[in-house]
Amino acid sequence: MIFKNLKKNHYINLIIVIFIFTLDRISKIYVLYLNDKYQDGEIFSSKFLNISLIWNDGIAFGLLSFDQSYTYNALTFIIAAIIFILLIMIIKNEGLKQYSFLIIFSGAIGNLFDRVYYKAVPDFIDLHINNFHWFIFNVSDIFITLGVIFMILIEIVSKDKPIKNYD
């Protein structure tokens, strides 16, 4: 009964969410496996990229990290509420804007899963040039960032902008 009301677009959206979530899970499970194998050492190192596991109990890029569990739980609840709002935005939009929200939603679900399951998010991708290191991130963070970039580009090139009349 429920499946009769679903459109082809809903199946595509579900496939995107499952694909991004699975890609994120596989990458994190593999890095956790390698971290155990190499006894908390650096997993991979090159001139511009290091793979080294850190646990992020804050929000994006380790911001707002807390030691108190009630603050962590409140932050997790706020993130879950934002994910619910993203779901509403996915339903209310269509086209490229919907897919941008969908990509952000998928990445956020991956990180929320880790926050609930591990009580922290495993981050492991460390891009650097000489001694300048960008924030360490994971595959979910890549998709969240891409979704936000797509959303910004859509807003910049959108033809639905209101025209201001200065007469």
DSSP at 123: E
- Cα gap 123→141, rounded to integer Å: 9
CB 32 within 8 A of CB 124: no
Look at residues 88, 145, 69, 141 and name the one whose alpha carbon lies nearest to residue 112.
141
Contacts 24+ apart (CB under 8 A), 10-17: 13/90, 13/98, 13/102, 16/99, 16/102, 16/103, 16/106, 17/102, 17/105, 17/106, 17/109
Catalytic residue among 67, 123, 126, 160: 123
Could you confirm whether 123 is annotated as catalytic? Answer: yes
Instruction: Just list the catalytic residues.
Output: 123, 141
